[in-house]
Amino acid sequence: MSLQAVPFSKLSEAEIQRLLDYGVGESIHLDYKRQNYETSESDRKEFLKDISSMANTLGGDLVIGISEADGVPQSIIPLAGDRDKDVQRLEQLALHGLEPRIRNLQIKPIALTAGGYLILVRVPRSYVAPHRVILGNSARFYARAGTTTYEPNVDQLRQMFIATPLIAEKIKAFHADRLIRITANETPIAMNAAGKLVIHVVPLPAFTDGSMMDLIARLSVGTHVPVPPDEVGQLSRQSVNLDGYLNYTSTGSHSDARKAYAQFFRNGAIEGVADLRTDDGLSSRFVGVPFVRLVVDKVRQYLATADHYDMGLPAYVFLSFCNASNTVYRYPVPGGGFQETDPFGREIIALPEIYIDSFDVDVAKTMRPAFNVLWNAFGHHHCDVYDANGEIPAS
C-alpha cells in the first residue's frame, strides 16, 4: 500500500489510519515524523533536508504526527496548535530555504476525529534537481535511498544535473516520431490525407524510468477523459487499443465528415488530432479566432485530465500541423470578407514547445508564443486573435 496512488486532494484520516492498520513501513516514498518541525535552525534545516532528499530522488509523502519503531508506524500522535499557521510556516520555509525551490510542493493539515491534526507533505519528484539547502549559509545536497537520507557524491550530483535534459530529449523524440507517423497516416482511426491539427500534452513523469500505469483501470473509476479536438461537436466513441485509451468522433453514415481523435497513452501522454480539410477533401485551412479557441480549450481539457489522474508536472505542450503542404490561413480583411495565404508548402509544422509547471496556468496567454510562430509561418507578424490586453475575444 502506498499513499502515492491516492490523489493528494483526496487524502484523509482514513488513508493514514490504513497505513497503521497494515503496518506500512517507511520507504523511499514514505517517511514518518512524530513531532512537527520547530522553529530552531536545526529543526528547519531538518525539514528542508527531508523534503529536498525526496525531491532529488523519486518524490514521496512525509506524514507529521506518526510515531514509528524501526520505520513501522505505531500510533497517531495528534499535533496541537494553529494548523493553518503551521502549514504556512512550512510552506514559507520550503520557499525560501531551498535553491531552486521545489515546484508543486503540497502541504495540508488533516483534521482528526479525536481532536488535533496531522500534517501531510507531498513532495513531487523534481525535474529541476538537484535542490540544495541554503538556510543559514548552508549549501548542502541530499538524496534518499530506501529509508536513509544521504549526501550524494560528485558523480551522483552530475547524474542529477543531466537527468532532466535526457528526459526532455526522450519527449522530443516521442513527439517527432508521432508527427512522422501521423503524416504517414499511421493513426488509430482512418483519416483524410489533408492537413491535420495535432496537440500533444506530455507530462515529464511519463518518460521517467519506463513509466506506465494501468490506464484502463484508472479510467474506469475516473470522471475525465481527453476529448477529440473537434470544433463542431460531433458524437464521439470510446475504445481501447495497444497504446491505451482512444476517444474519437463518430461520423455515422457521413464518411466524408471531418474526423478527430484523442489518444491517451499508457504512460500519461495525450495526443489530440483533428482533420482541417476543406470541402474539396484535398486542401485544408484554419481560421484565426475559432482555431485559437479550439486549441486553448483542448489544451485546458488535456491538462485537467492529467491533473485528475495525478500525471505530475512539469509538462510540455506541443502544437503542430501534419500533411500541411496545402494548408492555408484564412483571415478577415478590412471592409469585410476573407483572404487566404499561400499554402504552407511543407508537410510538417512543429512549433516550439510550451513548458507548463502549474495546472493553474493561464493557457491562452501561455500558448500565445506558439500561435505567434504559427502566424509567422504563414507570413504574418503575429497572431492577430488577441486583443490589446492579451485576451481572446469572448465571441
Q: What is the pLDDT of residues 293-327, one digit of tens each?
A: 999 999 999 999 998 888 888 899 999 999 999 99
pLDDT over threshold 70, residue 291: yes
pLDDT over threshold 90, residue 230: no
Amino acid at 320: S
User: 230 with 274: CB under 8 angstroms?
Assistant: yes
Whole-number pLDDT of residue 304: 94
User: 309 with 224: CB under 8 angstroms?
Assistant: yes
Query: Residue 363 is placed in which grid cell?
Result: 493557457
User: 129 with 140: CB under 8 angstroms?
Assistant: no
Whole-number pLDDT of residue 140: 95
Going by CATH, does the domain composed of 3-152 fall within 3.40.50.1000?
no
Q: Domain map of the chain by residue range?
A: 3-152, 162-377
User: 66 with 16: CB under 8 angstroms?
Assistant: yes
102: which strand partners?
none
- d(C-alpha 294, C-alpha 262), whole Å: 14
Whole-number pLDDT of residue 10: 87
Phi, psi of 125 (to 5 degrees): -65, 130
Quote the mean pLDDT of the chain. 91
Q: Summarize the confidence of residues 107-133 as an average pLDDT.
A: 94
pLDDT grade, residue 188 (50/70/90)? very high
Whole-number pLDDT of residue 141: 96
Provide the 3-class DSSP secondary structure of residue 202.
strand
Q: Summarize the confidence of residues 178-183 as an average pLDDT.
A: 97
- Range list of H helices, the chain: 13-21, 41-55, 83-97, 154-183, 215-221, 288-308, 363-377
- d(C-alpha 292, C-alpha 298), whole Å: 10
Weakest-pLDDT range from 57-61, 310-314, 340-344 = 310-314
- d(C-alpha 132, C-alpha 48), whole Å: 9
- d(C-alpha 45, C-alpha 264), whole Å: 41
pLDDT grade, residue 251 (50/70/90)? low
Distances (CA, A) of 168 to 162, 171, 240, 303, 363: 10, 5, 28, 18, 21
Beta-carbon count within 10 A of 83 CB = 18
Q: What angle separates helix 363-377 from helix 288-308, to the nearest 10 degrees?
A: 130
Whole-number pLDDT of residue 310: 81
Q: Summarize the confidence of residues 277-283 as an average pLDDT.
A: 68
The upper half-sphere exposure of residue 126, i.e. CA atoms within 13 Å in the direction of its Cβ, equals 26
- d(C-alpha 354, C-alpha 9), whole Å: 26
- d(C-alpha 359, C-alpha 356), whole Å: 8
**Residue bearing the bigger pLDDT, 392 or 89:** 89
- d(C-alpha 260, C-alpha 247), whole Å: 9
Q: Summarize the confidence of residues 124-137 as an average pLDDT.
A: 91
CA 341 to chain centre: 35
Whole-number pLDDT of residue 1: 62
- Range list of H helices, 98-205: 154-183
Q: Summarize the confidence of residues 120-141 as an average pLDDT.
A: 92
Q: Summarize the confidence of residues 346-354 as an average pLDDT.
A: 96
> What totals of helices (H) and strands (E) does the chain contain, helices first?
7, 22
Q: What's the length of the chain?
A: 395
pLDDT over threshold 90, residue 13: yes
Whole-number pLDDT of residue 66: 97
Query: Residue 197 is placed in which grid cell?
Result: 491539427
* Closest to 122 (Cα-Cα) out of 3, 213, 267: 3
- d(C-alpha 64, C-alpha 76), whole Å: 9
In the DSSP assignment, the letter for residue 8 is: G
Per-residue pLDDT reduced to its tens digit, 26-38: 999 999 999 999 9
Beta-carbon count within 10 A of 241 CB = 10
- d(C-alpha 370, C-alpha 218), whole Å: 32
pLDDT over threshold 50, residue 253: no
* Closest to 60 (Cα-Cα) out of 139, 157, 142, 171: 142
Q: What angle separates helix 41-55 from helix 83-97, to the nearest 10 degrees?
A: 70
Weakest-pLDDT range from 3-12, 207-216, 244-253, 327-336 = 207-216
Q: What percent of the chain has pLDDT over 90?
A: 70
Query: Residue 196 is placed in which grid cell?
Result: 491535420
**Residue bearing the bigger pLDDT, 332 or 112:** 112
pTM of this structure: 0.80
Whole-number pLDDT of residue 192: 84
Weakest-pLDDT range from 9-23, 61-75, 211-225 = 211-225
Q: Summarize the confidence of residues 78-88 as an average pLDDT.
A: 95
- d(C-alpha 199, C-alpha 298), whole Å: 8
